[in-house]
Amino acid sequence: MTKLAIMGAMEEEIEPLLAHFTNVNVVEFANNKYYEVSHNGLDIVIAYSKIGKVFASLTATTMIEKFGCDTLLFSGVAGAINPELKIGDLIIADKLCQHDLDITAFGHPHGFVPGGSVFVETSKDLREVAKKVAVENNLKVIEGTIATGDQFVHSTERKNFIESTFKADALEMEGASVAVICDALDVPFFILRAISDSANGGADIDFDEFLKSSAVNSANYLIKIVEKLNK
């Protein structure tokens, strides 16, 4: 690994990451800011993409193609579908899908387009490192399927559809698009989310309240993973 990309979707998701660094070089490009830092000799670029699949795709591609990052880690928050996931819990994606991608009218399954696949798998090696870090720090982390879509899902009916269709454990708005980019460009990647609203809770109430604390949980865990990768 020569240069590491760390992404979040919102400022709140990368603020706790940036707090770990002092000398930060800010590069403005394509209506966004990229924060260049160094950690124990490892060059890192940190950015928040803005919310949604298009912005996440743009940011991931920029980090790989313009900044030369060859590994990408995503840190952020997600809503739970799996009832075992509670607010603040950590989930790492073994695979991701786009729950709002729908050309079923042409006989294809939900989440599929020709030339693509319903699910994109994350890097097994990075997941193994993350699991070792979790054990060493006595953190409860589950591996599961994360579903991505350009909508903030708060209806039980929609959550039930996503759970039954994709067997997803958590929901967010960026991960699968980052997965498609990294998979296509052959860049190992890892998607980490901390739960900010529970499967049976009111997303409108929970999200704002738990966004910052869950983002800190995700960021602190990710920094430990970075330190392990850099050894």
Catalytic residue among 13, 163, 172, 174: 13
The residue type found at 33 is K
**166 within 8 A of 191, measured Cβ to Cβ:** no
**175 within 8 A of 37, measured Cβ to Cβ:** no
Dihedral sign, CA of 215, 216, 217, 222? positive
- Residue 36 annotated to the active site: no
Q: How far apart are CA 146 and CA 173, in angstroms?
A: 10
- Residue 102 annotated to the active site: no
Helix orientation angle between 203-229 and 124-136, rounded to the nearest 10 degrees: 100
Region of residue 216 (phi > 0: left; psi between -120 and 50: alpha; otherwise: beta): alpha
> Which of 129, 26, 27, 146 has its CA nearest to residue 76?
146
Reduced to 3 states, what is the DSSP secondary structure of residue 171?
A: strand
Catalytic residue among 169, 174, 197, 206: 197
Main-chain phi, psi angles of 206, to 5 degrees: -70, -40
Catalytic center residues: 13, 197
